[in-house]
Amino acid sequence: MLPTIRGVIDRRILVNFRVDPEALDGVLPDPFSPQTVDGYGIAGICLIRFRDLRPRGFPAQFGVGSENAAHRIAVEWTEEGERRTGVYVPRRDTNSTFNTLLGGRLFSGVYHHASFETRESDSRYEVEMTSDDGEAYVQVAGDRADALPADSVFDSLSASSRFFEQGSLGHSPTKRGESYDAMELDAFEWEVTPLDVDSVGSSYFENSSEFDDDAVEFDHALLMEDIDHEWHERESVCSAPASN
């Protein structure tokens, strides 16, 4: 069992796309299938900066900070006859060598090392990530806003907030390839603000070998700041056995 990790989400940007569910079926492993809203799959990027991250029970001054990016897809699956929901995370990147070395030991999932450039003010947020292996690139820029875009599949900020709060259980591929590590975010307070995005890019969702040009559309983005939280390990989900 991995230890419970406690810390502060200094800044979290959730960039969300509406995606053709059939396209997501093509990239999701068993047993996951796309969770849909108004007929669309929901996928995106989480750009999250931690501070004071440490095993629960350790003083905050022993905590560490890092910039991280996770590509994520809202999913559902059946476990012991019951429908479950969460997110599947095909790739995680971080600027922390500590995280890359201890991924799967102290932290769930496999982490790739990356460089981050950030520019932030009271209302403006710009984040750019480039992985060392050249496999992943993310860029987003935007300003605080009062409401979601008019064409969002979510009819209100509260509807979007509920959806992502309920999707706090994340599954990641392991180096073993036989199961998916599971970690659940427990945010002691949950508060989101719309982010009016004027520029966004993702090498994962713009990959023409995985997604057709019209399969992925930007939907909206959310901002979270100064959130005390914990990460809890949950039971892994096994990959479906190959059919003979």
Residue 105 sits in a domain whose CATH number is 2.40.400.10
Residue 242 inside a domain? The answer is: no
**What is the C-alpha separation between 170 and 168, in angstroms, rounded?**
6
Among 201, 165, 203, CA closest to 185: 165
Is the model's pLDDT at 15 over the cut of 90? yes
Cα 231 from chain centre: 13
Number of domains in the chain: 1
Residue 243 inside a domain? The answer is: no
Q: How confident is the model at residue 200 (pLDDT cuts 50, 70, 90)?
A: very high
**What is the C-alpha separation between 207 and 203, in angstroms, rounded?**
6
% of the chain exceeding 70 in pLDDT: 91
Residues contacting residue 123 through CB under 8 Å, at least 6 positions apart:
143, 144
Helix (H) or strand (E) holding 24: helix 21-25
Any idea what DSSP says for residue 140? E
Rounded (to 5) percent helix, strand, coil in the chain? 10, 55, 35
Is the model's pLDDT at 218 over the cut of 60? yes
Q: Domain range for residue 103?
A: 5-236
Residue 216 inside a domain? The answer is: yes
Is the model's pLDDT at 213 over the cut of 90? no
DSSP symbols for 147-207 = S--TT-SSSSHHHHHHHHHHT-EEEEE-SSSSEEEEEEEEESS---EEEEEEEEEETTTT-
Residue 189 inside a domain? The answer is: yes
Is the model's pLDDT at 132 over the cut of 60? yes
Say what the pTM is.
Answer: 0.91
* Cis-peptide into 173, omega within 30 deg: no
